[in-house]
Amino acid sequence: MDVITTHVNADFDCLGAMVAAKKLYPDALMVFSGAQEKSMRDFFLKSTGYALNFTRLKDLDLDSITRLILVDCQHSSRIGRFSEILNRPGLEIHIYDHHPESSGDISPTGGVIRASGSSTTILTSILREKGINVNATEATLMMLGIYEDTGSLIFPSTTTEDFHAAAWLLEHGASLNTVADFITQELTAEQVSLLNDLLKSLKTTELHGVEISIAQASVDYYIGDIAVLAHMMRDMENLEALFVVVGMASRVYIVARSRIPEVNVSDILHEFGGGGHSSAASAAIKDLTVIQVLEKLETVLRARVNPKRVAGDIMSSPVKTIDATATMEEARDMLTRYNVNALPVIKDKRLAGIISRRIVEKSLYHNLGQVLSPITCIPSL
């Protein structure tokens, strides 16, 4: 028996990828490994007819599974009870994921793992290559996955493949009106209250020359889609790297967003059992308090944040200089000897200017080889 599944707290990319995988594995059962995000639950409430194509986990005989198809996930800690069968001899595991850098602990026997804006995009591309068509409903569900994980095709992680996949789905009847209805959601009263608490707690510090922002809050009940709040905070405050830490009942959730290469949030949240890609990731932590998570996060950040490169990191040293009394011929010889294109000109132990190879060559072309370099140097500011 073939089963298609994804990570717990499934989002629209999970749904779109599962629908696409069903086209590749038509006899497979689609089963969610756990709960879904609120936006997904709302979707199924309004689309109960399509929900009938999913099998409930409690109705599934795990011992009968011979091939497990995972989408948007490579970590055993994120697939619920399906992790119990991963070491079964003879089990085929096919993974389709757009997080190649996540280095999950599940070893696949098939599938495709490569960088892309969404997992749905990868599977859509395979359907295009194989000439497998989709109907308008399937195209809309798959478009939801691409639009959600690429921020409607504007996130930095978006690739040309995502645009090609979206265009193909549009050709097959995907409804952008439906996509817009579910992607653009109004905040609930609980989300507004949580957003207010997060903004009040927001603190930005500099680490290795990089600005890191952290916001934290605690509530006694579960609030869905805190990723939406993280996006809003990042855009409202124009933050480079943001970590939102929220305690809800017995768990602590982290949602991270990054605009800069120095902060790979997937690597950082991997330390908490989470995952994602370099610019967006999340994690759910048990058995730790918000304070403990924040303390661990600070330690991980110090080890994982890459320092910003400054001029001193790439400059040549010691600096080669030339005296202001040197001739153009001498300047040419120094430029050639040290294989540089410019030399600081020193006069009375102070910088007088910079002479470039272009100026030297032009002077020599006009037979000015014995002219002193100060005549043609660029004055220092």
User: Domains of the chain (ranges plus CATH)?
Assistant: 2-183 (3.90.1640.10), 189-304 (3.10.310.30), 316-379 (3.10.580.10)
- Give the mean model confidence (pLDDT) for residues 34-49: 73
- Give the mean model confidence (pLDDT) for residues 238-253: 93
Residue 358 has which token pair?
């272009």
- What is the separation, in whole angstroms, between the first and last Cα of the chain? 75
**SS3 assignment, position 364:** helix
How would DSSP label each residue in 88-115? -TT-EEEEEES-GGG--S---SEEEE--
Residue with tokens 């805190």: 226
Residue 302 has which token pair?
């110090």
Residue 364 confidence (pLDDT) above 90? no
Whether a cis peptide bond, with omega within 30° of 0, leads into 318 is yes
The fraction of the chain above a pLDDT of 70, given in percent, is 93
CA pair distance 171, 174, nearest whole angstrom: 7
Task: State the pLDDT confidence band at 368, using cuts at 50, 70 and 90.
Answer: confident
Question: What's the confidence (pLDDT) of residue 136?
Answer: 93
The burial of 346, by beta-carbon neighbours within 10 Å (0-12 exposed, 13-18 middle, 19 or more buried), is given as middle
Helix residue ranges per DSSP H, the chain:
12-24, 38-46, 48-51, 119-130, 136-149, 160-171, 176-183, 189-201, 226-237, 265-270, 290-304, 311-314, 328-338, 357-365
Summarised one tens digit per residue, pLDDT across range 295-344 is 999 999 999 998 877 777 777 778 889 998 888 888 889 999 888 889 99
Task: State the pLDDT confidence band at 370, using cuts at 50, 70 and 90.
Answer: low
Task: State the pLDDT confidence band at 176, using cuts at 50, 70 and 90.
Answer: very high
CA pair distance 277, 324, nearest whole angstrom: 54
- Give the mean model confidence (pLDDT) for residues 59-65: 93
Rg (CA), the chain: 28
Average pLDDT, the chain: 88
**Would you say 101 and 278 are in contact if contact means Cβ atoms under 8 Å apart?**
yes
**All residues at 6 or more sequence positions from 296 whose CB lies less than 8 Å from its CB, including other chains:** 271, 272, 288
- Give the mean model confidence (pLDDT) for residues 28-35: 92
Residue 372 confidence (pLDDT) above 70? no
* Length of the chain, in residues: 381
- Give the mean model confidence (pLDDT) for residues 136-151: 93
CA pair distance 367, 371, nearest whole angstrom: 9
Residue 58 has which token pair?
């409690």
Question: What's the confidence (pLDDT) of residue 376?
Answer: 46
Higher pLDDT, 101 or 320: 320
**Would you say 256 and 233 are in contact if contact means Cβ atoms under 8 Å apart?**
no
Residue 75 confidence (pLDDT) above 60? yes
Among 43-52, 123-132, 228-237, 253-262, which stretch is predicted with the lowest mean pLDDT? 43-52
Residue 238 confidence (pLDDT) above 50? yes
| Best mean pLDDT range from 33-37, 271-275, 343-347, 365-369 | 343-347
Residue with tokens 């949030």: 265
CA atoms 325, 327, 331, 334: torsion sign: negative
CA pair distance 263, 278, nearest whole angstrom: 8
Question: What's the confidence (pLDDT) of residue 280?
Answer: 84
| Best mean pLDDT range from 152-156, 196-200, 221-225 | 196-200
Nearest CA-CA partner of 3 in 71, 65, 63: 65
Question: What's the confidence (pLDDT) of residue 371?
Answer: 59
Question: What's the confidence (pLDDT) of residue 365?
Answer: 81
pTM above 0.85, yes or no: no
Task: State the pLDDT confidence band at 375, using cuts at 50, 70 and 90.
Answer: very low
Strand 342-347 to strand 350-356: parallel, antiparallel, or no bridges (unpaired)?
antiparallel
Residue 380 confidence (pLDDT) above 50? no
For 243-260, letters b (16+ CB in 10 Å) and e give bbbbbbeeebbbbbbbeb
Question: What's the confidence (pLDDT) of residue 374?
Answer: 46
